[in-house]
Structure 1
């Protein structure tokens, strides 16, 4: 009697769940702005008054939308559907997802409160933790695919690591001088990534995964 081989547990369902959760987080970013529209309409304000009163919320929304989209794009390139799934990877993905779904909350705080060290630390700190977890995900993913004999780019962790370094630097500077303009320094992330690859910080062959080796 021939035994039927069960199909390997891949990451397709996990990716579908993560994509849906990220899409919801992006949608929730708009809620404070929708509430502002209702208030402005009820008070008889025009479009100029609305933009004047809610400019900080609009800017916070646009910045967070772009950042979450950037994180998703990088995560989409790292987590591939044919990678074998396991509990450790899933737990790590949920830890990273938490930093994404909490973004609508910290974005609302940024748009509704005056700039201060605590608010800046909450916002930029969340981004720093998210990028650091994304780097860990990239390292684990690369090792997992190497152990399974699947193709992978050896420079996979370079982008997330460059972002983690950038956000950490921005966080330190913003705590010294509270301002969100420090985020413009993230434009240098591409150069940091190139440096990490050139200096050999990333790009080496990964060690075997102890779980599957």
Structure 2
């Protein structure tokens, strides 16, 4: 059963939570910076080459960097939305957050290896794709876990967030579930058909849109039923 909410928290709990948020943001910033380092080492065009030749020769690395950058920003935004509803944390949130941050700073390594893979066969048989996509899956899964834990332990939530009825939370969880499942599936595809992996991942975006639409329709129908019952 959900915890019974306390009326207030101590000043030390408030400061501790603020420090956790600031520390998390700093580590994410470091993780994003580490993503850029392999790109900095890419040599410029040689004699007779154009910048587009360099881009083409390093397209895999550039793709992995851009994808990881976008995904990390997206997951940080989701993480931020969860923490914006909270006023303090418990041991479970702390441990989940530490694991989430560990994977954020670990991600640049599989990103660099996956991007540097010379061909699809290397990326598939060497397991680089599986490591890369399943690292993203683990980051997504931990984010969903934190969101669920916070909602089940209302003592962690800000007072004005406890009774709020909003489908944004549901849509956020749905996005997390879809992305987690997509990363797991794409990781398996990267072993069987490595060249298909990025294309399969693109299917996650329309899947998220469809899932959000279904959630909104269900919530609208539920609200309509409640209003009819109230009258």
Q: Which residue of 2 aligns with 1:161?
A: 177
**1:197–1:101 CA distance, 2 compared to 1 (3 A):** farther
The correspondence of residues 1-213 of structure 1 with structure 2, limited to 5 A, is 6-7=10-11, 9-10=13-14, 11-37=17-43, 40=44, 46-80=50-84, 82-113=86-117, 114=119, 115-117=123-125, 118-145=127-154, 150=159, 151-152=161-162, 153=166, 155=170, 157-179=173-195, 180-187=198-205, 188-195=207-214
TM-score (norm 1): 0.78
Q: How many residues align?
A: 194
Distance 1:103 1:147 in 2: 29
- Identify, as 1 or 2, the structure richer in helix: 2
Unpaired stretches in structure 2, ≥5 consecutive residues: 1-8, 223-231
TM-score (norm 2): 0.73
What's the CA shift for 1:175? 3.1
Q: Deviations over 1:20-42 (max 9, x none)?
A: 111111111111111113xx37x
Q: For 1:84, what is the secondary structure of its paired residue?
A: coil
Distance 1:66 1:6 in 2: 37
Q: For 2:77, what is the secondary structure of its paired residue?
A: helix
Q: Are the aligned partners of 2:140 and 2:176 in contact in 1 as well (CA < 8 Å)?
A: yes
Q: Are the aligned partners of 1:158 and 1:197 in contact in 2 as well (CA < 8 Å)?
A: no
Distance 1:81 1:192 in 2: 23
